[in-house]
């Protein structure tokens, strides 16, 4: 499950605004703001899935271990040329 902090961190690493992510994930801006809120708002799993998919399609890897959670951006070297 993607957390609010992971979403905000991934956006920062990619240089995306909330509007950009909402467009790429094909979710409403309101739904995205709910997901990224720290107020434990109810978020549909379909919204989380679409957001996660949009990030993963752009090189984001979500980390979740006993040591904590995080994000990593992996760039395709072939596309960097």
Tens place of pLDDT per residue across the chain (81 aa): 899 999 999 999 999 999 999 999 999 999 999 999 999 889 999 999 999 999 999 999 999 999 999 999 998 654 544
3-class DSSP assignment, residue 68:
strand
Note the CATH architecture for domain 4-73.
Orthogonal Bundle (1.10)
Residue pair 54/27 in contact (Cβ under 8 Å)? The answer is no
Give the model's pLDDT for residue 76. 62
56 vs 35: CA distance, rounded Å: 17
Residues linked to residue 59 through DSSP beta bridges, in sequence order? none
Give the model's pLDDT for residue 40. 83
Give the model's pLDDT for residue 75. 80
Give the model's pLDDT for residue 78. 47
Residue pair 43/3 in contact (Cβ under 8 Å)? The answer is no
Give the model's pLDDT for residue 79. 53
- Apex 23 CA angle, 17 and 27, nearest 5: 110
49 vs 45: CA distance, rounded Å: 6
């Amino acid at each position: 499950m993607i957390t609010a902090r992971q979403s905000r961190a991934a956006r920062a690493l990619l240089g995306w605004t909330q509007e950009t992510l909402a467009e790429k994930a094909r979710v409403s801006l309101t739904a995205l703001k709910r997901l990224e809120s720290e107020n434990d708002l109810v978020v549909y799993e379909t919204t989380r899935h679409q957001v996660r998919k949009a990030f993963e399609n752009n090189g984001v890897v979500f980390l979740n271990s006993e040591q904590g959670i995080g994000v990593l951006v992996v760039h395709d070297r072939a596309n960097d040329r």
